[in-house]
Structure 1
Amino acid sequence: MNLFIELRKHGKLAAKRNPMYEKNKFGKFWMYFMAVFWAGYLVFFGTSFAFAFNDGATEAYHVLNSGLIFILCLDFLMRFPFQKTPAQEVKPYLLLPVKRNRLIDSLLIRSGLNGFNLIWLFFFVPFAIISITRFYGITGVLTYSIGIWLLMVLNNYWFLLCRTLMNERVWWIILPILAYGSIAAGMFIPDNSPLFDWSVDLGEGFILGHLLTFTGVFAAIVVLWFINRELMIKLIYNEINKVEDTKVKHVSEYKFLDRYGEIGEYMRLELKMLLRNKVCKTALRTVFLVVISFTCILSFTEAYDGQGMKSFILVYNFVIFGILFLSSLMSYEGNYIDGLMSRKESIYTLLRAKYILYSIAILIPLFLMIPAMATGKLAVLSCIGWAVFVAGCVYFCLFQLAVYNNRTVDLNAKMTNRQNMGTGLQNLISGAAFGVPLLMNFMLTTFFGPTVTAWILIAIGAGFILTSRLWLKNVYHRFMKRRYKNMEGFRDSRQ
């Protein structure tokens, strides 16, 4: 425990000494604001759910406990866009008499104590106070809350195992699919599935404080802990010793880009960066998984049939690609910015190549949403409208970050990198890139209807696309005015 406290202290000192620390204060405020907002949202739903089933034939907590598996599945999916695998800069400690296993243990402790594991308590605690207190008192509420927290910690280590494996090999996505597919088959294929009764008994055991129930959950946490521990030891060893650096299965030259001259060269550079480096490949896999999951749930189930969720998924699926990669615009290039700056106007050509490539990439979420369009859940014109609007207006906003980003993002270090600190401007623009279009969609649809809204979005997006050379030139000139300050930040933040 002393080592964990010392490593935590070192992490705080490293964060304060990071060149992005002062710029990150607003980002922290925005993060805390959103956390409070979602906490209030969950408190509202927990209270509403308790009152909705308060007078039913079955007690409200029995109804909720029967669906604990669904909540754990939802929590698992929610962690993909919001929770990263824990990282620790290991190299400095390898010269000290500190066991590597202890460093891994500190990573796992930090992951278990992550605030994300507490977020669901804002739903369950108000619910328990209303529905459980009258039968089991405060003790029942307390033991129930502890049990739910242990379930979330268990889910955290399960997610960590799946995410770490998928970061290494995309085929490990089969593991959670098989796990949740087996659970779904066990719940819905039999007429009277025992899994529902088991879920109710699990929640009942938490409320009554049964030692066997808590012991079983804790034992499962310990098993996943040791599995994650052994896996991380192996991966950190490989990462530190650059084991995979010489393993190249095939080389793609993208010859079809030769006809586009210098812009084609930079498009080739961007494609190789996205498809060869561990951090970029992991981000691509994650966003594909989330978009495909949302689209399949929307297309083939009735879970997201509400207009609000349709609008959310429609905006999210198009915007998330840009937010994921363009919010760190030039940060990946910080690894080799000196070479880029040695040629006249190479940054402008790079920006044009990025814009063309990511605008073409908008076709990917449009293609993935074909099932939703085919089943009539989403209108074809609305999808086209949002594709054009994102490629124009939203990308215009995100490309402004190229002027101000000056922190290098390592292309391959996942578990041994430094703390990832985004600037307040990054968080603000990324949040606005999703929140403002969502608000626009609601207001325009309310006043003009979906068809007129789609044409308005197409007109706005087309205007920005047609004038892209002008505003990209403006971004380039502003970047060049700050080039020495930015290059200093890129050099200081390299590992």
Structure 2
Amino acid sequence: MTRAQRIRLFLGIMRLGERRNPASGSRWSKMLEWFGAALACLYLSACGVGLGFLAKDIGPYTIVGVMPFVLIVDFSMRFASRKKPIDITPYLILPVKRSEVIDSLLLSSLAAGYNFVWLCLFIPHCITVAAMGVAPLPEAAGIALVCQFLIETNCLWQLLVRSLTNKSLAWWALPAMAYAMPMAAAGMASTSDAPEAILDFFVAHGHTPVSILAYMACFAMLFVANRHVLLCSATQEATGDGTKRKAATKITLPEKWGITGEYMKLEIKSTMRNKAIKRNFMQGILLMSLLSAMITFTTIYDNDSFSQTTYCFYCFIFFGIVNLTRIMGAEGNYIDMLMTHKESTYQLLKAKYYYYCMVLAVPLAILLPAMISGKLPPSLVFAGLFTTTGPIYFILFQLAVNNRQTMPLNNTAIGRPGSNNAIPAMIGIVSFIAPIAAIQLIALAVGKETSLLIMTVAGLVFTVTHKLWLHNIYARMMRKKHANLEGFHATR
């Protein structure tokens, strides 16, 4: 069997493994996923047609000019999607070269369906540009191919960043510099806004033969770098080599709160030590910083009240959606110990609530520059803060009653896939959409400022009464504890 035949065989096995894995999701979760993908395709198609009409004034390379911003959105969405890792541990013990397994994994990532969703943006743009006579059809098709090639390159870039940041959080400086330096250079080199300068530069130089050769060189370098990093990471995880012992960090402040404080220490150490949870926090901080910088240093959202509300609430709700939708999943690894003492689980729920309330200091600090500069009104920021500590956490903590899927804590390159249950995903979507829709509806009747005041007061009511609804959640959990324990045991 030749190398190409072996790689083709590995690709087929990986596709079958993803399809047949029992943790790949229920029928309803897949239907929800397909529905979301259909909406995304419709939205991208509308954007592609709009950019096609805009190309009549700017030129046929308008889509190339906006590609830097598309790539940033694509980079962020790949982290937000939390794509399930492929379990390649069985392949590493086979009598085949590990490099061939890694090559198959990289090719599988490049051939993922998500990459081709962006064609819903490029193809309508190509058709519109050709139909309006801005560029002939072959040239428009060539522009679409270059843009799709950039998406594939961005796939490798995100995979490299994810692999490196799993090894050390210091690697987050790499994407920070990669995105901050061009923006700063564009701002210093032009009297206009940095985004406008970047758009003008890529419209003029983003489709030349030299730039296409540069894209190909970046693709090749990223492929080789990913190959090396994934091979080293997979080998270390499979053999246990390279594991270093770290000195234990002593946390004394929560001790004065008794057993609740001890559980708060557990939450803090879980965030500090476990890669899956720590990765979610770092992704959130990166996304929030980008949104805060866009609001503070650009004029795009100065008169866009809806976008300001959406981004502000997103920053506060993010940590709850990515972590609390899987509440009790981390504790599923040792849930038996929590059931041995009366109301131990209730104390844990209180500790989780207090901890995630304190975590909201992070988005508050990140949005502080936008609030000081006058781009975000303080009433909006405080409405987002107290709506999250109140109604949003009230909704998300309800999932503790039925969540029974153990969450792997340290899986990275070769980890076991996690759960893809539809109910937590739907609750997360509702938790994000509901408060924004409520503000818009109330504002139609009584005005924007009054609607923010109402949301703040409602949030304070839920926050003050948190012990009552947390105890209710605990009582319902205890009535289902045997079923939940069976689920946690079965998914470890």
* Per-residue deviation, 1:215: 6.0
Structure 1 residue 273 corresponds to structure 2 residue 266: no
The CA deviation string for residues 133-171 of structure 1, in whole angstroms up to 9 with x for no partner, is: 536554334333222211100111112212322232222
Name the residue aligned to 1:378: 376
Name the residue aligned to 1:480: 478
Name the residue aligned to 1:112: 110
Q: Which moved more, 1:309-318 or 1:31-40?
A: 31-40
Q: 1:379 to 1:213 in 2, by over 3 A?
A: closer
* Per-residue deviation, 1:198: 6.1
* Per-residue deviation, 1:124: 2.0
Provide the C-alpha distance between the structure 1 equivalents of 2:478 and 2:441, rounded to a whole number of angstroms.
38
Provide the C-alpha distance between the structure 1 equivalents of 2:93 and 2:291, rounded to a whole number of angstroms.
46
Q: 1:354 to 1:445 in 2, by over 3 A?
A: same
* Per-residue deviation, 1:197: 5.7
Q: Which moved more, 1:217-226 or 1:180-189?
A: 180-189
Structure 2: tracts of 5 or more residues without a match: 1-7, 192-196
Name the residue aligned to 2:282: 285
Name the residue aligned to 1:157: 156
Q: 1:365 to 1:231 in 2, by over 3 A?
A: same
* Per-residue deviation, 1:335: 0.9
* Per-residue deviation, 1:195: 9.5
The CA deviation string for residues 400-428 of structure 1, in whole angstroms up to 9 with x for no partner, is: 11111111111111111122232111111
Q: 1:69 to 1:363 in 2, by over 3 A?
A: closer
Provide the C-alpha distance between the structure 1 equivalents of 2:349 and 2:294, rounded to a whole number of angstroms.
36
Provide the C-alpha distance between the structure 1 equivalents of 2:391 and 2:381, rounded to a whole number of angstroms.
15
Secondary structure of the residue aligned to 1:247 is: coil
Provide the C-alpha distance between the structure 2 equivalents of 1:185 and 1:463, rounded to a whole number of angstroms.
44
Secondary structure of the residue aligned to 2:415 is: coil
* Per-residue deviation, 1:390: 0.9
Contact 1:87 1:107 in 2 (8 A): no
Amino acid at match of 1:36: A
Provide the C-alpha distance between the structure 2 equivalents of 1:148 and 1:63, rounded to a whole number of angstroms.
11
* Counterpart among 40, 43, 61 of residue 42 in structure 2: 40
Q: Which moved more, 1:31-40 or 1:195-204?
A: 195-204
The CA deviation string for residues 318-377 of structure 1, in whole angstroms up to 9 with x for no partner, is: 100111111110000111112212222211111111112112222221222111110111
1:259-270 → structure 2 map (5 Å cutoff): 259-270=256-267
Structure 1 residue 96 corresponds to structure 2 residue 94: yes
Secondary structure of the residue aligned to 1:414 is: coil
Contact 1:69 1:199 in 2 (8 A): no
Q: Percent identity?
A: 29
Provide the C-alpha distance between the structure 2 equivalents of 1:195 and 1:354, rounded to a whole number of angstroms.
44
Name the residue aligned to 2:458: 460
Name the residue aligned to 1:222: 220
Provide the C-alpha distance between the structure 2 equivalents of 1:200 and 1:159, rounded to a whole number of angstroms.
26
* Counterpart among 3, 9, 16 of residue 9 in structure 1: 16
* Per-residue deviation, 1:83: 5.0
Structure 1: tracts of 5 or more residues without a match: 206-211
Name the residue aligned to 1:209: none
Name the residue aligned to 1:77: 76
Amino acid at match of 1:9: L
Q: 1:135 to 1:413 in 2, by over 3 A?
A: same
Q: 1:411 to 1:185 in 2, by over 3 A?
A: same
Amino acid at match of 1:8: R
1:378-397 → structure 2 map (5 Å cutoff): 378-397=376-395
Provide the C-alpha distance between the structure 1 equivalents of 2:184 and 2:297, rounded to a whole number of angstroms.
16
The CA deviation string for residues 51-104 of structure 1, in whole angstroms up to 9 with x for no partner, is: 2443x3x43x233333433333343334332354x6222333334323322222
Contact 2:61 2:203 in 1 (8 A): no
Name the residue aligned to 1:449: 447
Name the residue aligned to 2:3: none
Provide the C-alpha distance between the structure 1 equivalents of 2:54 and 2:137, rounded to a whole number of angstroms.
21
Amino acid at match of 1:76: F
Q: CA RMSD in A?
A: 2.5
Name the residue aligned to 2:4: none
* Per-residue deviation, 1:281: 1.3
Amino acid at match of 2:465: T
Count, aligned residues: 478
Secondary structure of the residue aligned to 1:417 is: coil
Provide the C-alpha distance between the structure 2 equivalents of 1:217 and 1:331, rounded to a whole number of angstroms.
41
Name the residue aligned to 1:316: 314
Name the residue aligned to 1:49: 51
1:160-199 → structure 2 map (5 Å cutoff): 160-190=159-189
Provide the C-alpha distance between the structure 1 equivalents of 2:393 and 2:490, rounded to a whole number of angstroms.
28
TM-score (norm 2): 0.90
Structure 1 residue 415 corresponds to structure 2 residue 413: yes
Provide the C-alpha distance between the structure 2 equivalents of 1:332 and 1:108, rounded to a whole number of angstroms.
29
* Per-residue deviation, 1:204: 6.3
1:419-438 → structure 2 map (5 Å cutoff): 419-438=417-436
Q: 1:241 to 1:411 in 2, by over 3 A?
A: same
Name the residue aligned to 1:143: 142
Provide the C-alpha distance between the structure 1 equivalents of 2:380 and 2:135, rounded to a whole number of angstroms.
51
Q: 1:153 to 1:470 in 2, by over 3 A?
A: same
Amino acid at match of 2:282: R
* Per-residue deviation, 1:284: 1.1
* Per-residue deviation, 1:456: 0.7
Structure 1 residue 300 corresponds to structure 2 residue 302: no
The CA deviation string for residues 429-467 of structure 1, in whole angstroms up to 9 with x for no partner, is: 011110111211222233322321222112211222222
